[in-house]
A and B are shown apart, each in its own frame.
Chain A
Amino acid sequence: MMETFYIILITILKTALYFGVLMLHVAYATYAERKVIGHIQLRLGPMVVGPHGLLQPIADVIKLIFKEDIIPSNVDKKIFTIAPLISLTAALSTFAVIPVTDKWFIADINVGILYVLGILGVGTYGIIFAGWSSNSKYAFLGGLRSAAQMISYEVALAMSIVGVIIMAESFNLTEIVNRQAQYPLGMFLFPQIIGYFVFIVAMLAETNRVPFDLPEAETELVAGYFVEYSGIRFSLFYLAEYLAMFCMSALATICFWGGWTIPPFLLKIFPFLSIVPGVVWFLLKVYFHMFLFFWFRGTLPRYRYDQLMAIGWKVLIPLALFNIILTSLIKYYS
């Protein structure tokens, strides 16, 4: 009994620390995004608040908390109120199983990948609820589009990971990282290059990012499913989107890039790199994927909706199926 209590206390402390650091990363990811896109477009980005605009995220948080929370008169009030909470809870609780290093995680469960995919799927409910309950045409269309898009790409996303699972023979995220050590480059990236490609495209669509940001296509739907949201409720959606981006980046890092391990060929050329702690490698790889999100947003135009559906169903899913068949055959005969 005493031991259970002790474990619960440790978990709460760990979660508080993990989430505290995570929130800081999310806040500065919004800043990084504005800076990166600014420089891509030959602007400076935020410069006014603090040196080089470094205090901008904090100013944003304060502003969002002090904003009026408008609930339009003819919304479905109960659903309208809980929708952002569902989105945020889903996005935040995925991090329960994501290990930062081999010793630093909150919970190391055997079905880590299934848990992450399942909880990410719950996030779709928040978006559907928001779009439906707002009783606004833009929100309704945005919610519908978003739901169809997210479920379409969820299939491709889940299938792209099957190749990794075949190679790692485990759902446990720590185990998946450990298994990658015996492969060239110390990652599944090369044997699973098709899977990685499918994962990256599906990851952009799952988080509603450019070039697949149809649900919030601002030129036609204003802001999509959160048109009617303001103040703190809007910021919960915003937070959930960035958390989902971090979660996807972390998943890509763990499944395809070898997590916190150092690529062996780098270690061979520069032996002194072994003193760099694992968490630095992990963050480097995660931020590479975050940079991909920003880079795509600064570079690519938006797809049309029929193109988006065609890519999901006619390209990604056959590719992922092909990858599964190929991987299982090679794995069986090796």
Chain B
Amino acid sequence: MEPEILLRERYVAVLIVIIISLLIGLALFIISNFLRPKRPYREKLTPYECGIPSTGETWDRFNVKFYIVTIAFVIFDVETVFLYPWAIVYKKIGFYALLEMYIFLFLLIVGYFYALGKNIFNWRKD
């Protein structure tokens, strides 16, 4: 394996890239700030609604399906994160790891069919 010091510096490089990416965005803002015009008036600052004056609340109630899909996402994404390390090492651990993951996947698939039966993934009204 590699010496630890080199490994650490590779992650430092990633951090540097993230900082530079942020700086590029900020720099574009600042450059544009000096160059662009600023002429606001009341009508220009109203929310865009195809020319009609805006009515009603925006931050209103919305369809609960969005929320349920998010919950399903959390379940499946955590499961994917679990699959990742397994995918690398299962061959070294042997048959036991393979079987264990299949049991895990089976439980997940049962849950998947339950969600399917509850019409979570069905966005049509009828």
List chain A residues, Cβ under 8 A from B44: 70
Contact B87–A328 (Cβ < 8 Å): yes
Q: Tell me if B13 is interfacial: C-beta within 8 Å of chain A.
A: yes
Instruction: Report if A166 contacts B (CB, 8 A).
Output: yes
Cα–Cα distance between A222 and B11 once the two chains are bound (Å): 41
How many residues on chain B are close to A (CB under 8 Å)?
Answer: 67
Interface string of B44-61 (1 = CB under 8 A from A): 111111100010001100
Interface contact A109-B11, CB-CB below 8 Å = yes
B contact face: mostly helix, strand, loop, or mixed: helix
Interface size on A, residues (CB 8 A): 78
B46 touches A73 (CB 8 A): yes
Interface centre among A138, A169, A232, A305, by most chain B C-beta atoms within 10 angstroms, is A232
Flag if B83 contacts A162 (CB, 8 Å). yes
Shortest C-beta distance, B98 to chain A (Å), equals 6
User: In residues 68-86 of chain B, which contact A (Cβ within 8 Å)?
Assistant: 69-70, 72-73, 76-77, 80, 83-84
Judged by a CB distance under 8 angstroms, whether A228 is at the interface is yes
Contacts of B70 in A (CB 8 A): 147-148, 151
Mark contacts of A95-107 with chain B using CB atoms, 8 A cut-off: 1 yes-contact digit, 0 otherwise: 1110000000011
Interface membership of chain A positions 107-121, coded 1 if the CB is closer than 8 angstroms to chain B and 0 otherwise: 111100011000000
Q: Is the CB of A170 within 8 A of B122?
A: no
Closest to B2 in A: A110
- Residues in B neighbouring A181, C-beta threshold 8 A: none
CB–CB B88/A165 < 8 A: yes
- Residues in A neighbouring B39, C-beta threshold 8 A: 68
Chain B: minimal CB distance from A206 (Å) = 13
The distance in angstroms between the C-alpha atoms of A7 and B8, with both chains bound, is 11
List 16 A-B pairs, Cβ < 8 Å: A11-B13, A15-B17, A15-B20, A65-B32, A85-B29, A107-B13, A109-B10, A135-B58, A136-B54, A137-B47, A140-B59, A140-B62, A162-B87, A309-B123, A318-B112, A329-B98
Question: Can you list the 8 inter-chain pairs with the closest CB atoms, starting with the nearest?
Answer: A306-B123, A96-B17, A92-B21, A107-B13, A232-B32, A313-B121, A136-B47, A73-B45
